[in-house]
A = this chain, B = another copy of it.
């Protein structure tokens, strides 16, 4: 391809709305162009890389994941979303329209419903399972604040696979095939991926893994173990860490006390800092007690303190308390992880109680909530009690009376947990529960996600098959997604310098560019000859035949990020410059060997990115 026949459209400066490297570079290099808020057109240069990326996913999903491509429509009937129940719960992210028959339509934000409806239609027998289908298709989510270009656009391309399995064993197999495919895909793209166990959130079900890249603009905070053999990484919402001992201000482990706990008047002591000053002791000696309002807990708390005051609602999917309360005890230097707490309480949400609620359920205001006086169940973190052993001794806690604390508190002696669980937020500096290494944290950006959905959709959408036992059986499901645009942007984000993009060979729009200083005479002849040789060898070459100054051509090719440049100039002939985009300096090679050397370079770079 010659630049004169191509659509090269570079910009010196990125529009000011672009703040991250990939967004700036995609606009400057002419990879994408904005059509509306959160809506980006791929220009021809972008389409070339995009399709390479899509084909890598396709190859691995066809091969490694043993999946088959299908193609549902982008616009789907609202009815199937009503069947699954997500018509209401998906909220304003869904772009809805009414067709001329006043029927509700949805621009697909994801395709669990479409897959389920389609496969349900032809499903009779266990012999037809598993079904393993994927699409690479347009999706739309009406993000409140689209930003960072295609990194968080409204319309986007998603590669989404779905499996319908006869049983959990089969689902495990499908899940593992996809997991393997994911690692191969990201390897081939040259992306260093952090696989993390994630909270599966609104998607429902359990058993899930996120594939993240480190990114300063990431939505998620990751807790990462630096020990490569261990490899533990988790979203902060789920991360566990090793217990560390409670120690006093002198670094000594406190001894169990035989003294009974005792009220201490503590005027003007409200915060942990106030307590540190007043008691002249480390917060590791204090028990923090917090009252939480708990939404939609499906735990059966019959008999628990205060439970007789909560309304329990009957529901075919499981009875629940719309509102209940819990008193969480944790060592005072630690933070409660609300996602873990909600999971422990089988609740949809937990919220710190308001002043009035605290008063009602603790008998005292915030700061004086006491383990021994709580009027709702005690949820005790492993930092206080673990495996029926007290982890703190001779501790100080709230008294349940405003203006007073208690000292000489002995967990297990003075109070017992209603639930004893890990509800602590792991953080940088905590130790890995698997290997003991010290965690660090990074912001992460999710590129892919695999889930075990279970029966969520097959139940709500009434899918059954005749099992081997001859009985109607509900299949289980898995889903597997990769954000295609976001992955492309992440490749740029991690492969660039101040001059532009540095494409990995596997997704470069062109593999080699040839820049004649002047496309005339001998320079033209030499450039054309190298171009022909490379083209014949199946290498994707861009020959810059424009009548521009060499500086302009170099700058464009560097901005566009083609991995190898061959420069043909009078001064160097019969040699030409051979310059990998990632190298600091060019090398002179005889023009007659340049094509062969370029072919070898391309092959070697591709081999580095091989998943084999």
A interface residue numbers (CB < 8 A to B): 5-7, 9, 30, 33, 35-37, 39-44, 46-47, 50, 66, 68-77, 79-80, 92, 95-97, 99-101, 103, 105, 107, 114, 117-118, 121-122, 131, 133, 137-138, 140, 142, 144, 154-155
Contact between B155 and A74 (Cβ–Cβ < 8 Å)?
A: yes
Q: Enumerate 5 A-B pairs (CB-CB under 8 Å) in ascending A order.
A: A35-B76, A41-B73, A41-B114, A75-B95, A95-B99
Q: Is there contact, CB below 8 Å, between A7 and B131?
A: yes
Quickly give the copy total for this chain. 2
Once A7-B133, A96-B97, A114-B35 are accepted as A-B contacts, the answer to whether A44 and B68 lie under 8 Å apart by CB is yes
Question: Within the assembled complex, what's the spacing in Å between the Cα atoms of A107 and B121?
Answer: 27
Nearest CB of B to A409, in Å: 51
Known contacts A35-B114, A107-B75, A107-B107, A70 near B95 by CB under 8 Å: no
Chain B residue, CB-CB nearest to A121: B33
Q: A154 to chain B: which residues have CB within 8 Å?
A: 75, 99
State in angstroms the CA–CA spacing of A154 and B79 once bound together. Answer: 17
Which of A100, A103, A118: most chain B Cβ within 10 A?
A: A100
Option from B46, B100, B142 in Cβ contact (under 8 Å) with A100:
B142
Q: From DSSP, what is the main secondary structure of chain A's interface residues?
A: mixed
Given the known interface contacts A107-B107, A118-B33, A131-B7, the answer about A144 and B39 at a Cβ–Cβ threshold of 8 Å is no
Residues of the B chain whose Cβ atoms lie less than 8 Å from the Cβ of A30: 122
Q: Which residue of B lies closest to A6 (CB)?
A: B68
Please state if B77 and A50 are interface contacts (CB–CB under 8 Å): no
A42 and B71 contact, Cβ closer than 8 Å, known pairs A35-B114, A117-B35: yes
Q: List the B side residues contacting A6 at CB < 8 Å.
A: 68
Bound-state Cα–Cα, A70 to B9, Å? 13
Question: In the assembled complex, which residues on chain B have CB atoms less than 8 Å from the CB atom of A131?
Answer: 7
A406 CA to B142 CA, complexed, in Å? 72
Residues of chain B with a CB closer than 8 A to A80's CB: 35
Cα-based distance from A37 to B95 in the complex (angstroms): 19
The residues of B that contact A96 with a CB separation of less than 8 Å are: 97
- Check B7–A73 contact: CB distance below 8 A: no
A9 to chain B, nearest CB (A): 4
CB-CB under 8 A from A9, the residues of chain B are 122
> Contacts of A7 on B, CB cut-off 8 Å?
68, 70, 131, 133
* B residues near A69, Cβ cutoff 8 Å: 44, 47
Chain B neighbourhood of A95, CB < 8 A: 75, 97, 99, 105
Contact between A70 and B97 (Cβ–Cβ < 8 Å)? Answer: no
Q: What B residues does A42 contact at CB under 8 A?
A: 70-71
Across the interface, do B144 and A72 meet the contact criterion of CB distance under 8 Å?
A: no
With a CB–CB cut-off of 8 A, which chain B residues contact A105?
95
CA–CA, A70 and B133, complex, Å: 27
A72 and B41 within 8 A (CB): yes
Q: Tell me whether B118 and A76 are in contact (CB under 8 A).
A: no
For the complex, give the distance between the alpha carbons of A76 and B72 in Å.
Answer: 20
Q: Are A100 and B92 in contact (CB under 8 A)?
A: yes
Q: How far is the CA of A121 from the CA of B70 in the complex (A)?
A: 35
Q: A317 CB to closest chain B CB, in angstroms? A: 26
Q: Known pairs A39-B76, A74-B107, A74-B138. 15 more at Cβ < 8 A?
A: A7-B131, A35-B77, A35-B114, A35-B117, A35-B118, A36-B73, A37-B101, A39-B73, A41-B70, A41-B72, A41-B118, A47-B68, A47-B71, A74-B140, A97-B107
Give, as a whole number of angstroms, the nearest-CB distance from A32 to chain B. Answer: 9
Contact residues in B for A41 (Cβ distance below 8 Å): 70-73, 114, 118
Q: Which 7 A-B pairs have the closest CB atoms?
A: A44-B68, A36-B77, A97-B97, A42-B71, A73-B155, A41-B72, A9-B122
Q: In the complex, A92→B95 CA distance in Å?
A: 18
Inter-chain contact A44/B73, CB cutoff 8 Å:
no
**What B residues does A137 contact at CB under 8 A?**
138
Q: CA–CA, A138 to B68, complex, Å?
A: 20
* CA distance in complex: A585, B140 (Å): 52
Greatest chain B CB density within 10 A among A42, A73, A107, A118 is at A73
**A456 CB, nearest partner CB in chain B, Å:** 20
Select from chain B the residue with minimum beta-carbon distance to A68.
B44
